[in-house]
Structure 1
Amino acid sequence: MSSRPTPRRTVLTAALAVTAAASPLVSAASPAAASPGRGNRGGAPAGGGSVDHRAWTTFPQWSGGKGAGTRVVGGARPGLVVGEPIGTYTYADPHSHVTAVWEYATWRSPVHTLPAPATEVVVSWNARTPAGTWLQAEVRVRYGDGASSPWYVMGRWTSGDAPGDIRRTSVDGQGDGRSSVSTDTLAVDDRASGLRITAYELRLTLYRRPGSGLTPTVWRLGAMASDIPDRFEVPASRPGEGAGHRLRVPRYSQEIHKGQYPEYDNGGEAWCSPTSSQMAVEYWGRRPTAEDLAWVNPAYADPQVCHAARYTYDHQYQGCGNWPFNAAYAATYHDLQGVVTRLRSLNDAERLVRAGIPVITSQSFLASELEGAGYGTAGHLMCVTGFTDGGDVVVHDPASPSDAAVERVYRRRQFENVWLRTKRYNAQGKVSSGSGGVCYLYFPVRPTLRQARALASVGVR
């Protein structure tokens, strides 16, 4: 069976380029070929693996950054807001074709020195952006030879899409000849060269309509930096503490939405990421209101999946599979957090599931490599919800013909390998790459002690 088609990704045209002289929206752009699809990513060089997840969430952490026009707010959920804007910027939105003036303020994190060198960085954030506001997240990395990259735009994001708001977007065409950005991932271009990332700093720019007094509120900003061994096969883990434990997660099929809302990538196989995200969001007892769903055709089942697709859609990538956009979507629900990270083995996933936290995993495989799937894919998201007594993996796989068929059991060894490997052979027999254990984790602002310990065990705090 042939693989499912890789989601589309296009190159940013010259018309979208932003010049340093024009704005704080400074990015490094270099001529680049079309970036690979979601299933064709994630490889890393040989050697010891490392994953480092660092986030800014507390009042002291936010206060430790350098703000220009921003203000730190306290309370039960500390965050960053616009205080006194430091200027205005005219943004010509390449997707809505609307040009508007915005006030802005900025914040820059301290430099984070990595405990081990990395080849990739993925930035994620949790925020609220009322209509008339938006944010931009950027990263600048330091290389092992002491040189630094330019500031790379890792997302221009708003939780909504009200008239006059910007369109949520990644930015293509960014690179400095040593590293480059593919949608949501900054990676070293030539990993075999030995070049590595040793530190990074993050920058937020918060925007609002001039004179409105509105502000985004950012509660969490962080990044996952990693260097995963280059491998076709990963070491097998033995069943651990999660064996025999299952979570009660809602079941939603992406396939029943095939052909719905072409403007959000047409439903069906393109909606694996938002469908998985919605299942996990609703596991935590959150869901869109009737008012939120009023725009959905009443003839469509599971309108909340349509809602998730709309509000995770990346207008540059032209799909709903932007990893940080999915994590940010989850965090728009009351007191939920969302992060993108990598796990080392199914034992990590077992520990999280045992603590009550489902794990949304990214993987690619041939139909013959995952028995019972019935399909092959160049990149697919599904939700790990438990483990059998023997340690096989219980998943809610949205690539199912109906909601009732979503829960499946996949053999432990097969699932672990297709999820954690960085190299694979595609349907044409050519070497391609895998996600290297990428996952989304959604969890409460105030997790239980057991949940907090399980998250800390995989580097998420």
Structure 2
Amino acid sequence: MRLIAAALAGLLALTGVGACSSTDRPDGSAVAVAAAGGDRERKITLTRWDSSRQWRRGDLAGTTAGDGRLAFHQPVGSATAGGRSYDVARWTSPWVEPGYAFTELIASWSARTPKDSWIEVKVRGRGGSGGRTSWDLLGRWTSGDHHLRRGTVSGQSDDGTSVAVDTWRTSGLSGYQLRVVLARRSGAAYRPSLDLATAMTSRLPASAGPTSAPGAARGTVLQVPRFSQMVHRGHYPRWGSGGEAWCSPTSTSMVLGYYDRLPVPRRYRWVPGGHVDPWVDHAARMTYDHAYDGTGNWPFNTAYAAPLAGKAFVTRLRSVREAERLLAAGIPVVVSIAFGPGQLDGAPIGSSDGHLLVLVGVRANGNVVVNDPAADSRRRVRRTYDRGQLERLWLEASGGLAYVITDSAHPLPNPRAATNW
């Protein structure tokens, strides 16, 4: 999907006050840069690699690029994990400079990890003076859990950077490099691979600003299936025990269900008969971060969804109005919010330090239609929230973080096909 950067550049523009651009850099990567004229401090950049040309512009060490995928070719080193030995290969991106001093970076990826194989994603940065930080590990990921436990390493506090589960935080760096390590059991012939890697950098103000005006999706409500996380309360303590802990995999499953891309039944046949929506139990298991001890790792959820749907990544948007461009293209958006008592009228729970739900539409008056998995039953999942309340809670809690999951029938909208983009 080579239009990711171009489309996100359009999505990150505010009608009437924004200017955005999308360019292919000399290094072969594509970058979407948005700068809102009304809020110069709210900066968001999404850079992606998903074509053979883009992969080849990076440093290939034991890896090869073809048909849009980066794949293990031959070992260039070894590693030990879980008491077992692995052959490793690597890919390192060129240096990327978003054009401002960014304070956060979130990477996401779409990978295949057959049998006993896995990937690691690392990042390092540099400041305006050219000084470089050490490499920090953002995550070790595998699509299964029979051989290795996927996880992150929070902390790593040195060089003015640190890792908070899925987010790399800095004191303000000018550039970064992404590195992907692909590993397979020593002596094996299978080939772990990726067809997408993204890095979203941002520098954001603490306040949300004025509520956005209704946009392209006014009057649109997508028919996203309704799943409740609460009906899984007490399920599988080793993967979070369901209930309030499973908002993220439940939201991800609702979007997959909308695309008719839920996993096939044999994938979740380990779930006992009688469990409601057993694919949610499966999603919780397949997104569980064993170091963080939870299913709310953002890129682990998009990494789970991507091979099923087509493409998936983590980014940030500036407003509900920007999310409406996706909704108008038939793409539901999973967003991360937090709220205290009395801050979100009509919510099924009184408060949350971090909660995921799905934006599915916008009423004629601009208020937002959601599938909120915190409801106690499927029937109560569909809700309408006040636009101003929801937008503020989203932007101030997570900086407008969103899971964007697409299939071939719902590509990202092309900004050149719309006005005011």
| Shared fold (TM-score, shorter chain, > 0.5) | yes
Q: Which amino acid aligns with 2:58?
A: G
Q: In structure 2, the residue corresponding to 1:331 is in which secondary structure?
A: helix
In structure 2, C-alpha distance between the alignment counterparts of 1:456 and 1:297, rounded to whole Å = 48
**Partner residue, 2:193:** 217
In structure 1, C-alpha distance between the alignment counterparts of 2:359 and 2:415, rounded to whole Å = 19
In structure 2, C-alpha distance between the alignment counterparts of 1:64 and 1:272, rounded to whole Å = 38
- Give the conservation status (yes or no) of the 8 Å contact 1:357–1:451: no
In structure 2, C-alpha distance between the alignment counterparts of 1:418 and 1:89, rounded to whole Å = 42
Residue 132 of structure 1: how far off its partner (Å): 1.1
Q: In structure 1, the residue corresponding to 2:301 is in which secondary structure?
A: helix
**Partner residue, 1:136:** 120
Alignment of 1:211-360 (within 5 A): 211-231=187-207, 233-333=208-308, 336-360=310-334
**Partner residue, 1:153:** 137
Q: Percent same amino acid at aligned positions?
A: 41
Residue 332 of structure 1: how far off its partner (Å): 2.4
CA deviations 1:373-430 (Å, max 9, x no partner) are 0421110000000011111000000000101110000011111111112xxxxxxxxx
**Partner residue, 1:50:** 43
Q: In structure 2, the residue corresponding to 1:121 is in which secondary structure?
A: strand
Q: In structure 2, the residue corresponding to 1:326 is in which secondary structure?
A: helix
- Give the conservation status (yes or no) of the 8 Å contact 2:52–2:70: no
CA deviations 1:340-381 (Å, max 9, x no partner) are 111001110111100111110001011311100042111000
Say yes or no: does 1:207 pair with 2:199.
Answer: no
Per the alignment, do residues 67 and 49 of structure 1 end up closer, same or farther by CA in structure 2, a change over 3 Å counting?
Answer: same
Q: Which amino acid aligns with 1:320?
A: T
Q: Which amino acid aligns with 1:86?
A: V
Alignment of 1:425-440 (within 5 A): 434-440=397-403
Residue 436 of structure 1: how far off its partner (Å): 1.2
Q: Specify every segment of 5 or more residues in structure 1 that has no aligned partner in the other structure, as ranges.
A: 1-45, 94-98, 189-194, 422-433
In structure 2, C-alpha distance between the alignment counterparts of 1:328 and 1:454, rounded to whole Å = 29
Per the alignment, do residues 336 and 320 of structure 1 end up closer, same or farther by CA in structure 2, a change over 3 Å counting?
Answer: same
- How many residue pairs get aligned? The number is 382
- Give the conservation status (yes or no) of the 8 Å contact 1:352–1:455: no
Say yes or no: does 1:113 pair with 2:97.
Answer: yes
Q: Which amino acid aligns with 1:270?
A: A
Q: Which amino acid aligns with 2:236?
A: Y
- Give the conservation status (yes or no) of the 8 Å contact 1:256–1:402: yes
Say yes or no: does 1:167 pair with 2:127.
Answer: no
Residue 144 of structure 1: how far off its partner (Å): 3.0
Per the alignment, do residues 324 and 358 of structure 1 end up closer, same or farther by CA in structure 2, a change over 3 Å counting?
Answer: same
Q: In structure 2, the residue corresponding to 1:369 is in which secondary structure?
A: coil
Residue 454 of structure 1: how far off its partner (Å): 9.3
In structure 2, C-alpha distance between the alignment counterparts of 1:142 and 1:407, rounded to whole Å = 45
Aligned partner of 2:351 among 349, 369, 376: 376
In structure 1, C-alpha distance between the alignment counterparts of 2:152 and 2:416, rounded to whole Å = 31
**Partner residue, 1:41:** none
In structure 1, C-alpha distance between the alignment counterparts of 2:261 and 2:416, rounded to whole Å = 22
Residue 299 of structure 1: how far off its partner (Å): 2.0
Per the alignment, do residues 80 and 445 of structure 1 end up closer, same or farther by CA in structure 2, a change over 3 Å counting?
Answer: farther
- Give the conservation status (yes or no) of the 8 Å contact 1:356–1:451: no
**Partner residue, 1:451:** 413
CA deviations 1:274-329 (Å, max 9, x no partner) are 00000011111101112111100112110000010000000000000000000100
Q: In structure 1, the residue corresponding to 2:392 is in which secondary structure?
A: helix
Q: In structure 1, the residue corresponding to 2:99 is in which secondary structure?
A: strand
RMSD: 2.0
Q: Which runs of structure 1 show a deviation greater than 6 angstroms over 4 or more consecutive aligned residues?
A: 454-457
Per the alignment, do residues 111 and 442 of structure 1 end up closer, same or farther by CA in structure 2, a change over 3 Å counting?
Answer: same
Q: In structure 2, the residue corresponding to 1:116 is in which secondary structure?
A: coil
In structure 1, C-alpha distance between the alignment counterparts of 2:119 and 2:305, rounded to whole Å = 17
Residue 451 of structure 1: how far off its partner (Å): 2.6
Say yes or no: does 1:420 pair with 2:395.
Answer: yes
- Give the conservation status (yes or no) of the 8 Å contact 1:47–1:230: no
In structure 2, C-alpha distance between the alignment counterparts of 1:282 and 1:453, rounded to whole Å = 27
Which shifted more, 205-214 or 53-62?
205-214
Q: Which amino acid aligns with 1:157?
A: W
Residue 140 of structure 1: how far off its partner (Å): 0.8
- Give the conservation status (yes or no) of the 8 Å contact 1:57–1:79: yes
Instruction: Give the TM-score taking structure 2 as reference length.
Output: 0.87
**Partner residue, 1:30:** none
Say yes or no: does 1:79 pair with 2:55.
Answer: no
Residue 87 of structure 1: how far off its partner (Å): 2.3
Using CA pairs under 8 Å that are at least 6 residues apart, name the structure with larger relative contact order, 1 or 2.
1
Per the alignment, do residues 445 and 59 of structure 1 end up closer, same or farther by CA in structure 2, a change over 3 Å counting?
Answer: farther
Per the alignment, do residues 86 and 446 of structure 1 end up closer, same or farther by CA in structure 2, a change over 3 Å counting?
Answer: farther
Q: In structure 2, the residue corresponding to 1:180 is in which secondary structure?
A: strand
- Give the conservation status (yes or no) of the 8 Å contact 2:337–2:398: yes
- Give the conservation status (yes or no) of the 8 Å contact 1:168–1:313: yes
CA deviations 1:171-214 (Å, max 9, x no partner) are 123121411011110112xxxxxx41111111011011122201
Q: In structure 1, the residue corresponding to 2:254 is in which secondary structure?
A: helix
- Give the conservation status (yes or no) of the 8 Å contact 2:330–2:410: no
In structure 1, C-alpha distance between the alignment counterparts of 2:175 and 2:409, rounded to whole Å = 29
Which shifted more, 410-419 or 366-375?
366-375
- Give the conservation status (yes or no) of the 8 Å contact 2:331–2:410: no
Q: In structure 1, the residue corresponding to 2:321 is in which secondary structure?
A: helix
